[in-house]
Amino acid sequence: MQLKNLLITLSLLSMLNVSSNYLHASCQVLETNEESLPQSKKLYIKGKQLAALSDVLKEKLAQQSFKGIVAVTRGGLVPAGYLAHRLGIRTIETLGLSSYDDQSKQQKVLKVEKPLDLQDGGEGWLIVDDISDTGKTFEYIQNLFPKAHRLAYIVKPQGEKFVNVYAMDVAQDTWVVFPWEID
């Protein structure tokens, strides 16, 4: 089934169970190139939507405190910045992991680009990434830092069990495009 530049309004409010003062937003969903992602659609997240998801996560984390944030590079850099501002956290570390081929957008073997050493199994740290797709990245992080709190802005069904908190879930066949990504 081909969808041509179909603009649909997603009610992120109902998906997130939050009040209407957070967000009324639309996302563009398009059929992808069948060679790269068969039977898949794209969900474009815009800056205002990312900010609204950050507000939802801030509310979910309101009763917790953290030593700092670990941004999983590269996808978690911008979300970690949004959350650091909202939560008043000034300490940000990075853990460099790559699991996607930039050209083909296909998952590959997880590669550690920049290691990180957190004491006490990561206790008191918030580890942030943009998405938990298959969960392989967060499964690796869970094994590396079993006491850390794991957060993804968006989860897919296969990746949900590896995070402690998220703002939005999407179908497994949805390709999510964040504002900082080149499409």
Decide if 133 is catalytic: yes
Paired with 175 in beta bridges are 42
Total residue count of the chain as it appears in this document: 183
Does the active-site annotation cover 183?
no
Question: Of 133, 169, 173, 183, which one is the catalytic site residue?
Answer: 133
The H-assigned helical ranges of 77-149 are 77-87, 136-144
Q: Known catalytic residue: 129?
A: yes
Beta strand 149-155 pairing with 165-169: parallel
| 121 vs 117: CA distance, rounded Å | 9
* Annotated catalytic residue within 101, 117, 129, 169: 129
In b/e form, how buried is each residue of 99-121, taking b as 16+ CB within 10 angstroms? beeeeebeeeeeeeeeebebeee
Residue 140, classified by CB atoms within 10 Å of its CB into exposed (0-12), middle (13-18) or buried (19+), is middle
Catalytic residue among 102, 120, 130, 173: 130
Q: Which residues are catalytic?
A: 129-130, 133
